[in-house]
Amino acid sequence: MAAVARDDGTIRRYGAMVLRIAAVAALYYAGARIGLLQELVRGQVTPLWPPTGIALACLLLLGPAAWPGIALGALAVNAPIGPSPLGVVGIAAGNTLAPLCAFLLLQRADFRISLDRLRDALALVFLGALLGMLISATIGTAVLVLAGALPSDAFWPAWSVWWTGDAMGVLVITPLLLALRGVRMPREVRPYRWLEAAVLLVGTAAVTLVATRSVAALLFLVFPFLIWAALRFQLAGAAPCSFIVSVLAIKATAEDVGPFSGNSLLTQMVTLQAFNGTTALTALLLSAIIAERNNTRRQIERVCTELAEVVVRLAPGENFGNWPSRRHDEEPPDGRG
């Protein structure tokens, strides 16, 4: 009976692992299909590549055992659009290694998925996005050039687009998924909070839609909404607003309208990603600073409460340890008043 129970436990454990890998692969594939709707370079490079953010979030939430799902999803995405079977394997390897290396770097930096410290937000920016995504951009672009799918003189423009697209996937999608994981539906929430959240999201979408289809001077109008989201809702509000801004800016550029249109691919990507990066950093860093400040305030309040309880327990009239208590009208032992 014990052996049968062990076998059943092993089967359930492996079954759960297979389902987890399949779910990661499905999420990766779905994110890729959505990202490819805004393709700019041979169906491979986009301004925002959601799978990198999905892959890193899965690794942070499920651990390194999620990497087979990432690899399967990357193979499924690149198989129909890759330059050759060997090229598909190379690009998929880069897409798998990049978030895995980013995950390992974040682990070394003692990263917390709650993103409630400034150091965690900075680690996600520099280690997860900027440094980790160098791998996928370098491997992927090199494979396209070696396969003849991309001319050699287009290496750096394509590389820059690939790298910034993967980095934006981490900066926009990973915080969004981590924030959604931490969202709770408390039973006692005042209605005005739900109304405020709805007004914030709708207002962000409306203002961004107008700003990204008008002149560059109106783009600054989105920042008050990002600041509002970070101050009032921290990551749970800042991450969705940052996502809305990035998606609408990319959509306008893909349709060749707005302040980012009418230029070369490299110029478009520089200006577009500068805007998207600024909005993502504003939302991420400010929400982390506010969360850290709130945590510090709560810790100070807790310490003050504990000190107050100690003072109450040691109030006048009680025996302070071994110190002898006496009445105020008694003479001290040495006769001095």
Give the mean pLDDT per block of 10 residues along the chain (337 residues). 59 85 96 80 69 97 95 94 90 96 97 95 97 95 91 86 92 95 65 89 96 92 96 94 94 86 77 93 96 93 89 66 49 49
Locus of tokens 């709805």: 198
What's the one-letter identity of residue 165? G
- Give the phi and the psi of residue 41 in degrees, each rounded to 5: -130, 105
Measure the CA–CA gap between 227 and 232, rounded to whole angstroms: 9
Q: Describe the crossing of helices 134-146 and 85-108 by its angle, rounded to 10 degrees.
A: 170
Are 36 and 80 in contact, with CB atoms under 8 Å apart?
Answer: no
Measure the CA–CA gap between 47 and 254, rounded to whole angstroms: 9
Distance in angstroms between the alpha carbons of the first and the last residue of the chain: 84
Are 280 and 169 in contact, with CB atoms under 8 Å apart?
Answer: no
pTM of the entire predicted model:
0.87
Note the pLDDT of residue 328: 47
- CA torsion sign, 16 to 18 to 19 to 23? positive
Are 175 and 246 in contact, with CB atoms under 8 Å apart?
Answer: no
Residue 70, both tokens: 């990432």
- CA torsion sign, 218 to 279 to 131 to 100? negative
Q: Is 170 exposed, middle or buried (0-12, 13-18, 19+ CB in 10 A)?
A: buried
Measure the CA–CA gap between 58 and 64, rounded to whole angstroms: 9
Note the pLDDT of residue 323: 46
What's the one-letter identity of residue 255? E
